[in-house]
Amino acid sequence: MARVFNFSAGPSTLPVEVLEQVQSELLDWRGTGMSVMEMSHRSPAFESIIRELEADLRTLIGIPDSYAVLFLQGGATQQFFQIPMAFLGDGYADYIITGEWGKKAYETARPFGKVNVPWDGADTNYNRLPVDFFTDRFAAYTHFTSNETVHGVQFPGDPEITGTWVADMSSDICSRPLDVTKYALIYAGAQKNLGPAGLTVVIARRDFLAGSSNTLPPYLDYRQHDKAGSLLHTPSCFAIYVTGLVIKRLQALGGLPAVDSVNRTKAEIIYNQLDGYFYRGHARPDARSLMNVTFHLPSEALTKRFVEESRAAGLDGLAGHRSVGGIRASLYNAMPTEGTRALAEFMTEFRQQHG
């Protein structure tokens, strides 16, 4: 068996220890005589899996009881419309657009009511952040994307001022410490830092949820999912199980401060390779993502060659998104430091050969 270093933007690499545990429990989950894949979501065994995940996630991030933790489906893409359907009402929302995903969230929300764009970085192809967080007390909510997966632009931390903040944290949740109380609602697809695809985590203040629309189908009503403990219908059972194992591992590694410290080291290893000439970073230095490092080579031909040769060297998934081009190295939690070292060495050699 030969595993590659997988730099894919998502679905993405998972901790090998977790995959091994899944393998060892695949046919018989802890004496139940069945796989989690085969288990009723109403069984005591699965109840224990989902409740343990919730408890562990609350401990890892520090989520107070005044917040609901929901395990939903539909991806972040569903949140793009579920949020405006639930919270726009007769008011308006602000969308701060720092990249491809913020733009998608905004465009999806538009048919549901009034949405404003107080800041949009399109004029420099989303390589920067607003100078400051700003707030609009009258907005139903202000939406932003903490980490823009395509452009490689990340806010340095939580918003520093009050406001009804809604954040898409799909590509940086659990990669660093987080003050949940700064937010009304946080959502994230699991398939980058948390686990397999098919699961969307929503963390929301219960008094914010209380004000949501009363005319939605139950499936789109966050309060119903909260009341049912995310068992309103059949959830993504297997993804919930694997995510539970990932969260336990993050806790064992020392929690989010320790995870953050490793992530900073990993990102620095790659950013140190960007010399501004042969490897040109896409994001401005003060907006750089620790999760998705985006950069360009001097030509299309060299970019193509870089992708091909890196793949042959066991470094997979490095082609950039078509809207940015170039290379994107995704360094989520489960990417080991040795993987980033291997990439940095490859970059040095490639530059020596072609620079």
Both tokens of residue 7?
Answer: 């730099």
Stretch that binds ligand PMP, among 75-83, 154-162, 295-303, 341-349 (CB under 6 A): 75-83
- CA 81/CA 78 separation, integer angstroms: 6
Ramachandran quadrant class, 229 (left: phi over 0; alpha: psi -120 to 50; beta: rest)? left
From the candidates 101, 103, 119, 260, which is the catalytic residue? 101
**In this complex, which beta carbon is closest to ligand PMP, that of residue 103 or of residue 266?**
103
CB of 107 to ligand PMP, least distance (A): 12
CB of 167 to ligand PMP, least distance (A): 10
**In this complex, which beta carbon is closest to ligand PMP, that of residue 75 or of residue 84?**
75
**Does 189 help bind ligand PMP (rule: CB under 6 A)?**
yes
What x-and-dash track marks residues 226-265 binding ligand PMP by CB under 6 A?
----------------------------------------
Subset of residues 160 to 179 that bind ligand PMP, contact rule: CB under 6 A: 168, 170-171
**Does 8 help bind ligand PMP (rule: CB under 6 A)?**
no
Pick the closest to residue 273 from 170, 171, 182, 352 (CA basis): 352
- CA 261/CA 256 separation, integer angstroms: 8
**In this complex, which beta carbon is closest to ligand PMP, that of residue 154 or of residue 303?**
154
DSSP 61: H
Q: Is 248 a catalytic residue?
A: no
Q: Is 168 a catalytic residue?
A: yes
Please confirm whether the linkage preceding 285 is cis (ω < 30° from 0): no
Among 12, 13, 145, 294, binds ligand PMP (CB under 6 A): 145
Q: Is 165 a catalytic residue?
A: no
**Does 142 help bind ligand PMP (rule: CB under 6 A)?**
no
Ramachandran quadrant class, 151 (left: phi over 0; alpha: psi -120 to 50; beta: rest)? alpha
196, 182, 154, 311 alpha-carbon torsion, rounded to 10°: -10
From the candidates 56, 94, 168, 221, which is the catalytic residue? 168
Tally of helices (H runs) and strands (E runs) in the chain: 10, 14
Both tokens of residue 155?
Answer: 């806010």
DSSP-assigned beta bridge partners for residue 147: 154
Helix H or strand E encompassing 186: strand 185-189
- CA 200/CA 186 separation, integer angstroms: 10
Among 76, 129, 199, 307, binds ligand PMP (CB under 6 A): 76
DSSP-based three-state secondary structure for 184: coil
Asked whether the beta carbons of 145 and 168 are under 8 A apart, the reply is yes
Q: What is the CA radius of gyration of the chain?
A: 21
From the candidates 29, 94, 165, 192, which is the catalytic residue? 192
What x-and-dash track marks residues 94-133 binding ligand PMP by CB under 6 A?
-------x--------------------------------
DSSP-assigned beta bridge partners for residue 327: 295, 319
**Does 75 help bind ligand PMP (rule: CB under 6 A)?**
yes
Among 8, 10, 140, 193, binds ligand PMP (CB under 6 A): 10
Among 6, 12, 108, 149, binds ligand PMP (CB under 6 A): 149
Q: So which residues are the catalytic ones?
A: 101, 168, 192
Residues of the shown chain interacting with ligand PMP in the complex, contacts defined by CB under 6 A: 10, 75-77, 101, 145, 149, 168, 170-171, 189
